[in-house]
Every structure is written in structure tokens, then in C-alpha cells.
Structure 1
Amino acid sequence: MDHPIRLHVTDDLRRTRLTVAFRIILVIPHAIWLALWGIVVALAAIVSWFATLFAGRTPQGLHDFIAQFLRYSAQVSGYLFFLADPYPGFLGDRPYDADLAIAPPAPQNRWKTGFRIVLVIPALIVAQVLGYLLEVLGIIAWFACLFTGAMPLGLRNLVAWIIRFTAQTHGYALLLTDRYPSFSTDVEA
């Protein structure tokens, strides 16, 4: 059964050495925009929690707003960690080489919603540990892409798995789904 939050990678593994060399600098405007947008999403998530708790489903507008943020976040991560080569847009509203597919709002269990902050803790801990691994892999990928002009397939798949798990964890925390993050290694590539 497919998870409601899936990562699709449609990249050809080639990387432009010039943008690889300066990727950390090129991503700064995205990091700033992501941080500012994240503040608004945190407030929207609180409203969404109350709405989902009482209605049993996240309202469409809140779901779409939070989902667009999560897609954008995954696109920026994909760019930063060499999962994709083109420079991403600033709204997460157009297709990208490393993009999330997020299912529309569905009914959610009110008990799971009520205790979501507690239920998500183990997944957040795992996502944090994987985030540290991702930083190490990012350095390895930087050298690999800089010297070969391509992202090694195995490294790309591991980076994609971590980004997908993290996106599913954040989607669960932000009430986009009540399905727990999957440890499956199936990444659509």
C-alpha cells in the first residue's frame, strides 16, 4: 500500500560542476525563505490540529498550504544534497526532479490527532539522526559530484530515502496524514 507522501526522483544523475562547487551559497536564499515560511506553517499547523481534532479531517486550504511548504522543503533539500541539479523555484508549486507527491486530505483518527505530538517523537528522533547522516552524505556527494560530474546511484538512493523519510515524518507531524512514516526503501526513481 502506497504511503500518502511519496518522493519521486526523475533525475539523470549528471551534475553541473560549477553549481555543485557553489551549491551551499546558491541555496542561501531558499534557506531564508524556507525559515520565514516555516514560521507561518507552524502557526497553520496549530490551527490545523484543532480543526482536524474537531472535524476529523484537515481542511483543504490548510492541507494545501502545508503540503506546498513540505514539497518546497523537499525540493530545496533535494537541491542542497545533490538529489537534483536544476535550481528549484521559490514556491514549490511546479514539478521538480526531486518532488513530493502528497495525497489530498483524508479522514484522520481523532485519538491519533490528539496525541500526535507524543506519537511523532520516535519518528522525529530517527529523522534527526538521519539528518546528521545526511549532512555527512552531503559532503561525500559534494566531492563525488565535483570530481565526476555525476551523483553515484547508490548515494543518490540513500539520500532520497532519508529525504523521503524526513518528509513523511514532517507530514505526519504537520497533520497531512495520520499514516506513520515508512522505513521502506522504496523510492520512486
Structure 2
Amino acid sequence: MEPQPSVPEPAPSSPVRVRGDLDPNLSRWQWLVKWLLAIPHFVVLIVLGIGWVLATVVAFFAILFTGRYPRPLFDYSVGVMRWGWRVAFYALSPLGTDRYPPFSLNSDPGYPADLEVDYPEQLSRGLVLVKWWLLAIPHYLIVGAVLSTAARMGSDGHSAGGLSLLGALSIVAGVALLFTAVYPRGLFDFAMGLNRWIVRVHVYAGLLRDDYPPFRLDQGPREP
């Protein structure tokens, strides 16, 4: 008998999955007011963010002494990140949908944007002491470059603020929508890659996983 060709095993799924499906029928002008419409979400996220900080502090000591992230706190922390990602996808970057985000911490497969993080059964007690500040420094430098605003010198000699890279990409996409009714696909994929990188760093520095974020720009609406 001839030997059967070997079938390659599928690549393991990423423990952090960031999804953002581009709406093919985006409004030409709605991006101009989405940030205003999203104000109720911003208010809620401020409150949820305070809870996220407290949950992370409690989780730090739980991991240090037990090697485990308490599951209820883990689900809450991921839920807050998921909520924030949906709002960002709608109102900030990459402006990929006109559907208003749900007021929910839970995963919603029907919404164009979603985020999932696999729960780790065990976490390193030693890494929790250094990963969120020391080991993540290279990623902080990259994320800082993406999110920081470029300063310019005004006519009066004082420094004036500019746009971050993500902000600039959103403006370019919005202008393209306004005049052509088309979101440049390459621009969207690039913005998704940057946002995916930021989320992965957030997951690592937030103690949710021990997997070191890859130095890789995974573009597109879904994990490759």
C-alpha cells in the first residue's frame, strides 16, 4: 500500500482573539458624530475602569500566592476590555461599524466587534512581579508611539498637540468615506493590526495571560 500523505495539524488558536468585521454599508457622515453618541459608553467605561484596576490589584496578590487568577475577576476584566474594544471599533478606531455598541460585558457573536481571552488554569507566580512593568517595556514603547500625539510648534512658539497614528488613520478613513462612500480596505486592515497589538499588550500587562505578545502586526478583521 502506498503511504498516505500526512495531514498537517491545524495551528493552535491564539489565546487572545480580537475580531472586527468591517460594515460594508458605512454612512458617509456618521463618523463625525459617533464620538458624541458614544458619551454614555465613555461614562460607563470610566466607572468600569475603576473596577478593573481594583480587580487587577486583587488578582495580583491572588496570582502571587495561589498561581491563579480568580475566575469571576478574570471574566469581569475581559468583559471591560471587550466593552472598550466595541466602543473603540464604533467611535474611535477603526470606525468599522455604524451599529451602536451593546451595554454589556458579555461576548456577542452577532456584533461586528468582539474580544475573547482564554482563561489560564495556572499563571506564574514569579512573572506576575515583573511582566507588567519590566518585561512589557519594549511593547510599551511601540504602543506609546502608536497612541501618542505628535507635537508641533505653533506660530506663537508654544508646542501644539497633534494626532496619534490611530487618530490620523481614522481621520483619513472618515474623509475617504465622506467623499467616496468607501472605506479603504488596506487602511482598515492596518488599523485592526495596530488595535490587535494594543489589546494583546493590555492582556499581558493586565496579568490575564503569561503568553508574551508577539512582535507581529496581524492585520485584518480576524486572527490569522
TM-score, normalization by structure 2: 0.77
**Residues 74, 100 of structure 1: 8 Å contact kept:** yes
Q: Which moved more, 1:64-73 or 1:137-146?
A: 137-146
Q: Which amino acid aligns with 2:122?
A: P
Instruction: Note the 1:52-67 alignment, pairs <5 A.
Output: 52-67=63-78
Q: Structure 2: how far apart are the matches of 1:148 and 1:98?
A: 24
- Gap runs ≥5 in structure 1: none
* Corresponding residue number in structure 1 for 2:183: 151
- Gap runs ≥5 in structure 2: 1-11, 148-163
TM-score, normalization by structure 1: 0.90
Residue by residue, what CA displacement relative to the aligned partner does 1:91-149 show, whole Å, maximum 9, x if unpaired? 24233212112112332222211112322232222112112211111111221222223
The partner residue of 1:135 within 167, 182, 187 is 167
Q: Which moved more, 1:111-120 or 1:178-187?
A: 178-187
Counting helix residues as a fraction of each chain, which structure ranks higher?
A: 1
**Residues 83, 160 of structure 1: 8 Å contact kept:** no
Residue by residue, what CA displacement relative to the aligned partner does 1:40-95 show, whole Å, maximum 9, x if unpaired? 10111010111112111211111100000111111111112212331111224233
**Residues 59, 105 of structure 1: 8 Å contact kept:** no
Q: Which amino acid aligns with 2:117?
A: I
Q: Which amino acid aligns with 1:118?
A: L
* Corresponding residue number in structure 2 for 1:48: 59
Q: In the alignment, does 2:128 pair up with 1:113?
A: yes
**Residues 60, 105 of structure 1: 8 Å contact kept:** no
Aligned-pair identity in percent equals 33
Q: Structure 2: how far apart are the matches of 1:32 and 1:128?
A: 24
Q: Could you say what the CA RMSD is over the residues aligned between the two structures, in angstroms?
A: 1.8
Secondary structure, in 3 states, of the residue corresponding to 2:120? Answer: coil
Runs of 4+ in 1 over 3 A off after TM superposition: none
Q: Structure 2: how far apart are the matches of 1:13 and 1:49?
A: 42
1:19 is displaced (CA, Å) by 2.2
Q: Which amino acid aligns with 1:111?
A: G
Q: In the alignment, does 2:118 pair up with 1:103?
A: yes
Where relative contact order (Cα < 8 A, 6+ residues apart) is larger, the structure is 1
Instruction: Note the 1:1-189 alignment, pairs <5 A.
Output: 1-80=12-91, 81=93, 82-93=95-106, 94-95=108-109, 96-116=111-131, 117-131=133-147, 132-186=164-218, 187=220, 188=222
Secondary structure, in 3 states, of the residue corresponding to 2:182? Answer: coil
